[in-house]
Structure 1
Amino acid sequence: MSTKTSLDRRRISRELTRIANAPLDEVLETIGDSKAPAAYRIGVTGPPGGGKSTLINALVKERLEDGIDKTLAVLAIDPSSPVSGGAILGDRIRMDSIADLSGLYLRSLSSRSARNGLCDNIVDLLTLLETHGFDEVILETVGVGQSEIAVHEVVDTLVVIVPPDAGDSVQTMKSGILEMADIVVVTKADQPGARRMASDLSAVMRKRGDRDVPVLQTEAAGVGVATLNQAIDDHRAWLADNHPQALTCGSRRRYHLQALIDREVREALKADTEILRGTLTTSYDRLLAALRAK
């Protein structure tokens, strides 16, 4: 296990920035042959304004207390700025109170061209963090919706938060991300409607395999976070007993390869507008030729 004193935040930040903007051949040169142990990945998603950042603040403190030498990274994906294309940094500001905790690395990321709650190079960045020996990574998505199920492909435990006033958005979530949830958390439990929301969700949540999906309640003051922390550890133990590691590795490799191919196609189309001329068949053949020539 890595030690907290070994964290070089500036170096990690420089490497993440370089990889985030590097061409694919440089990405593969940096992480393509990595044999670093996988970090345990915890995804946190839910409606904007639902309290994701507040919950992560409390959860980080709880998880860093679990082990004296534990290191943890938080990647918080913010919507892209319409002016610069970079992250608006709202999550980074909201998490400023934990930024200096020993053993913690915190980074806001732009969603860039992605429309799935993540960013198009998230798996590259997760892999790079693992080369630095992080024990755990918490990944916060932009928001939530039926299309934001991609986070389930890249994390081990998915926590879906639902505020008491989620209203109609819960109906959308029921046919999307809630079906992927490993743990559901009703935030702002001190507000009206929280208990009813938790009860309703408990009634509709389906089993994941032979496991009941827990529906928990938390408050901004940190009430309930210890229970959530234990639920994450319980799910990790359940995975170890019921989910072969090879299956996880295969699923992640498939997602990573797809992400690399998607970016390769976008880069080819952007670099050569001639590909778009003529019939669809002609364009397709030119695109394949451009990819083969790389």
Structure 2
Amino acid sequence: MNPSSLDRGALGRTLTRIANATPAELVQRAQRDTPLHPARRIGMTGAPGAGKSTLLGHLAMARASKGRLGVLAVDPSSPRSGGAILGDRIRMDELGTSPELYIRSLGSRGTSDGLADNLPEMLDAMDDFGFAEVLLETVGVGQTEYAARAQVDTLVLLLLPDSGDMVQAMKAGIMEMADIFVVNKADLPGAQRMATDIRRIGAITRHAQGAWVPPVLLTAASRPASVSALSDAIDRHQAWLAAAGRQAALRRQRARYRLKRLLEVQVAEVVANQDDEFLALPLRQQLSQAWTQLGKAIGA
């Protein structure tokens, strides 16, 4: 794909095909050549109401000069209808119509990990279309967004002042996964105290020599300097990744998630296709037959 001109129509159709692709079609797509210059991937996660969409919009404007920029924002889908409001796109319309900026809202659909169906393949497609950087916003369900860690180079965790998010995040273990901590809506009471508490936790956490130590930042959409500070922190982390030779580890992490997700989708299809007679069988027999069917499906 020629990086000099972005064919929005072709990209939109490609992402739609990938979103609706079967596991077999995804396996075929995986045979593509690895791009010479894959896009930098920046993830933003945090509980609902943390201001992810607004901050991501300002961050996109701050980073637009770094090359072609894509924004993939995941919205929760209805478990009954499968539809999504896609409010992130509505909130980001103020970013304008720059020819080098592409925004796509995604329904989470069948996933339960804060991401979207076939997201790894969608991110690969952004590489194919010559993007320099992709910003990924997760659903924001709090404790089930570990998958975001496997999909991005730099993971930003947003917390709110005095909201209890920090305690919940610590319980979920996501505090150990974030590369940058952001106390957003810093103009609210308690923001500085929250940042101090996070720094205190970081100070007693052991870090290997040469390891990245996550900074703690305060941001507010009304303070452009705070958004610039976040952008600078992302650049520093990207530089550390390159200097530390972390790219191979990131590729293995993504390959592991992709394999796990494809197997989960295939297993779900096998289970959904069973009738009442099958489900009346003893569990051991169900498992045996299901494994056989799964093997045939994967080999098809």
- Counterpart of 1:114 in structure 2 is 111
Instruction: Give the 3 Å change call, closer, same or farther, for CA 174–110 of structure 1 in structure 2.
Output: same
Contact 1:86 1:112 in 2 (8 A): yes
Over the aligned positions, Cα root-mean-square deviation in angstroms equals 1.9
Instruction: Give the 3 Å change call, closer, same or farther, for CA 99–2 of structure 1 in structure 2.
Output: farther
Query: Equivalents in 1 of 2:262, 2:108: separation in Å?
Result: 16
Deviation readout 1:39-75 (Å, 9 max, x if unpaired)? 211110011111101111111011112x3xx111111
Alpha-carbon deviation of 1:101? 2.3
Question: Which 5+ residue runs of structure 1 have no aligned equivalent?
Answer: none
Which residue among 119, 129, 141 is the counterpart of 1:132? 129
- Counterpart of 2:269 in structure 1 is 267
Question: What secondary structure, in the 3-state scheme, does the structure 2 residue paired with 1:74 have?
Answer: strand
Question: What secondary structure, in the 3-state scheme, does the structure 1 residue paired with 2:136 have?
Answer: strand
Query: Equivalents in 2 of 1:14, 1:220: separation in Å?
Result: 33
1:209-288 matches, cutoff 5 A: 209=208, 210-221=211-222, 222-273=224-275, 275-288=278-291
Amino acid at match of 1:35: T
Query: Equivalents in 2 of 1:164, 1:180: separation in Å?
Result: 20
Amino acid at match of 2:165: S
Q: Percent identity?
A: 45
Instruction: Give the 3 Å change call, closer, same or farther, for CA 27–277 of structure 1 in structure 2.
Output: same
Question: What secondary structure, in the 3-state scheme, does the structure 1 residue paired with 2:145 have?
Answer: coil
Alpha-carbon deviation of 1:275? 4.6
Worse-matched range after superposition: 207-216 or 280-289: 207-216
Instruction: Give the 3 Å change call, closer, same or farther, for CA 28–19 of structure 1 in structure 2.
Output: same
Contact 2:77 2:84 in 1 (8 A): yes
Question: What secondary structure, in the 3-state scheme, does the structure 2 residue paired with 1:109 have?
Answer: strand
Question: What secondary structure, in the 3-state scheme, does the structure 1 residue paired with 2:42 have?
Answer: strand
Question: What secondary structure, in the 3-state scheme, does the structure 2 residue paired with 1:291 have?
Answer: helix
1:1-294 matches, cutoff 5 A: 3=3, 6-37=5-36, 38-65=38-65, 67=66, 70-82=67-79, 84-166=81-163, 168-175=164-171, 176-205=173-202, 206=205, 209=208, 210-221=211-222, 222-273=224-275, 275-294=278-297
Instruction: Give the 3 Å change call, closer, same or farther, for CA 255–189 of structure 1 in structure 2.
Output: same
Deviation readout 1:133-169 (Å, 9 max, x if unpaired)? 2111111111142322111111110000112142x23
Query: Equivalents in 1 of 2:288, 2:85: separation in Å?
Result: 39
Query: Equivalents in 2 of 1:44, 1:207: separation in Å?
Result: 24
Q: TM-score, normalised by structure 2?
A: 0.90
Question: What secondary structure, in the 3-state scheme, does the structure 2 residue paired with 1:238 have?
Answer: helix
Query: Equivalents in 2 of 1:79, 1:144: separation in Å?
Result: 9
Alpha-carbon deviation of 1:11? 1.4
Question: What secondary structure, in the 3-state scheme, does the structure 2 residue paired with 1:116 have?
Answer: coil
Query: Equivalents in 1 of 2:145, 2:242: separation in Å?
Result: 26
Q: List 4+ stretches of structure 1 deviating above 4 A.
A: none
Contact 2:19 2:117 in 1 (8 A): no
Instruction: Give the 3 Å change call, closer, same or farther, for CA 126–276 of structure 1 in structure 2.
Output: farther
Query: Equivalents in 2 of 1:228, 1:207: separation in Å?
Result: 24
Query: Equivalents in 2 of 1:217, 1:165: separation in Å?
Result: 14
